[in-house]
Structure 1
Amino acid sequence: MKIIQLEYFCAVCRYHSITQAAQKLYVTQPAISNAIRELEKEFSVSLFSRTKNHIVLTKEGEAFYQKASVLLDNIHETTSKLYDLGKQVAPIRIGIPPLLSTVFFPDMLTGFYKKYPDTPVELFEYGSVRAANLVLEDTLDLALVNLNFYETNKLNSCQLLSDQLVFCVSRDHPLVKEKSVSIEMLKDEPLIMYNTDSVQNQALLSIFDSIKVKPHVILNASQLYTIQAFVQKNLGGAILYSSLLKNMHGIKGIPITPTITQEIGLVWQKGRYLNSSTEKFITFTKDFMQL
């Protein structure tokens, strides 16, 4: 039995799909299928019941999954502790939403590198929901997320800032002279929104839904640059964090009433050993944001 086999097996259990597990782990489906077959052959047991479109854990598979999950958690924790004992600096794996990566994070990371030049950081751009899930799966150590959407019973958190959403338009937009706008006023406005799996997108759609309005979304984009370009060309408006405006030229942010406030912060898994590098980063971040 190999650790990688357990990793693959547990991933299939989490996602209930070999296809999704392969996508999440960036490996081929045959690699995962072979790993599971090797486990079943080694222990002479069927771990999954397979049909044409579904894969379901057997009774033996469920029991094995419980033990394998605990074993992997212990392996990951032991690895982190050994890094510390051996004074090897483990990289800090941090997930960050693309919309937030241009606000305060670059300055904060620059300050961290100056103070801890020998501590490596690995950045991964994910939306808040996926980043929080990857923290729970121990794929990431930390995630910068919208705190309005995460599992409070499984994650520790520290709030870093509060930001308000504003309606961003070009200088030629019909609403540019408005002192404020309501969500109702935007029901017929062409909107450029972030990807459908982003927290901001989900929050906005929920707000529109609460007043029985379907927004006129003309584009869902994955990059802030694309959203900015469409707004600058007056092809539509976008609802974005107000802090993003300082890096946008030719765009005005109109306050939304009532105010929509979003809390931004770091999350990490409860009950999980944090190596010294990750603890340093959390402490530095709190100090940097003057918490």
Structure 2
Amino acid sequence: MKIIQLEYFLAVVRYNSFTKAAQFLHISQPSLTTSIKKMEADLGYPLFIRTTKELKITEKGIQFYKYAQSLVETYHKTLDRMYDLNISDAPRIKFSILESTSSWIAMVIQQHHHEYETQRYQIVEQHSMETIISSLLNFDVHFALSNEKIERDSIVSVPLYDEPYVLITPKGAIQETEQKADDLQHLPLILPNRQYQVRKHLDEYFKHLNIHPNIVLETDRFEAATTFVHRGLGYTIIPRFYYQSFSANHLNAVKIKPSIERTIYINYLEQRKLSEPANTLIDECIAYWKFQ
């Protein structure tokens, strides 16, 4: 069975139609149908139930879909890595960051690029601890930033810095430089969605203080949250260093009392042999905060 056959199958599942899948793949519908029938014959079971009115995937087809999706994804990642090695003697350094870290990481990369002028980089944002750990263990990234320590024997988790959370308000909305936690429950709050670690920090903080926040909006990104504050839809609570970003221009940052803060970590696989530029970049991230 070939990768292209798996991609044909995935397209049919995605569009739930042989006609639409064939159009997407730029092949004829009879060719696509023949390919799927060949797959079913090789496997020894049907992947789809076809009627004149509808197309349904079988139970075994669902299980096969999971494996096919994983195989195709791995295949394309492998091609990407091989291409990367072909076009450069220095493969890309791939790492994941948090939204709030982009400002300082840009300065570290700028310095690093002066030392390694041919070096290329690939950066992704990852906020779920599960995703971060998976990316490290699957060699998808060389290192990752997180806002929790990763407790894994195979992963080195080095603390970089602590940063407090602050209440972001429209200019002049709150005159005080500090806001008591009890008063937060009287404000319309815009917070991250529940799957993110920042939200978990805030939920634990509120629970510990027996506070019932008035959450009017939930979002995936700090950028969206600050935009909603600009629009007068409420207040948000974000890490202090994100307040220095462009998105938070013309907004006020108010300290929260008692304070709530998080620690940012840099994480990498202990046994993975990294290139000199990748190791240097990790060292420079650690050094940046050592001298701040």
TM-score, with length taken from structure 2: 0.66
CA distance in 2 between counterparts of 1:243 and 1:189 reads 22
Paired residue for 1:180? 179
CA distance in 2 between counterparts of 1:53 and 1:101 reads 44
Aligned residues: 259
CA distance in 1 between counterparts of 2:279 and 2:179 reads 42
- Per-residue CA deviation, residues 32-69 of structure 1 (Å, 9 max, x unaligned), is xxxxx9xx99xx999xxxx8499789xxxxxxxxxxxx
Paired residue for 1:283? 283
Residue pairs, 1:29-178, within 5 angstroms:
52=59, 88-102=89-103, 104-129=104-129, 130-148=131-149, 150-174=150-174, 176-177=175-176
Structure 2 vs 1, CA of residues 53 and 198 (structure 1 numbering), >3 Å: closer, same or farther?
farther
Structure 1 moving runs of 4+ over 4 Å = 1-4, 53-57
- Gap runs ≥5 in structure 1: 5-17, 20-36, 58-71
CA distance in 2 between counterparts of 1:196 and 1:261 reads 18
Paired residue for 1:225? 223
Residue 252 (structure 1) shift: 1.9
CA distance in 1 between counterparts of 2:154 and 2:63 reads 25
CA distance in 2 between counterparts of 1:154 and 1:45 reads 41
Structure 2 vs 1, CA of residues 283 and 181 (structure 1 numbering), >3 Å: closer, same or farther?
same
State the structure with more CA Rg: 2
* Larger proportion of helix: 2
Structure 2 vs 1, CA of residues 53 and 210 (structure 1 numbering), >3 Å: closer, same or farther?
farther
Paired residue for 1:25? none
- Gap runs ≥5 in structure 2: 5-12, 15-35, 46-57, 65-73
The two structures, once aligned, show a CA RMSD in angstroms of 4.8
CA distance in 2 between counterparts of 1:151 and 1:199 reads 15
Paired residue for 1:22? none
Residue 264 (structure 1) shift: 1.0
- Per-residue CA deviation, residues 198-246 of structure 1 (Å, 9 max, x unaligned), is 2111211222233444422222233433222222333211111112233
Residue 172 (structure 1) shift: 3.4
The letter of the residue matching 2:234 is: G
CA distance in 1 between counterparts of 2:211 and 2:60 reads 37
CA distance in 2 between counterparts of 1:233 and 1:95 reads 30
TM-score, with length taken from structure 1: 0.66
Q: Residue 194 of structure 2: which of 193, 196, 199 is its match?
A: 196
Residue 99 (structure 1) shift: 2.7
Structure 2 vs 1, CA of residues 255 and 273 (structure 1 numbering), >3 Å: closer, same or farther?
same
1:168 touches 1:252 (CA, 8 Å); kept in 2? yes
Paired residue for 1:206? 204
Q: Secondary structure at the match of 2:117?
A: coil
CA distance in 2 between counterparts of 1:231 and 1:167 reads 11
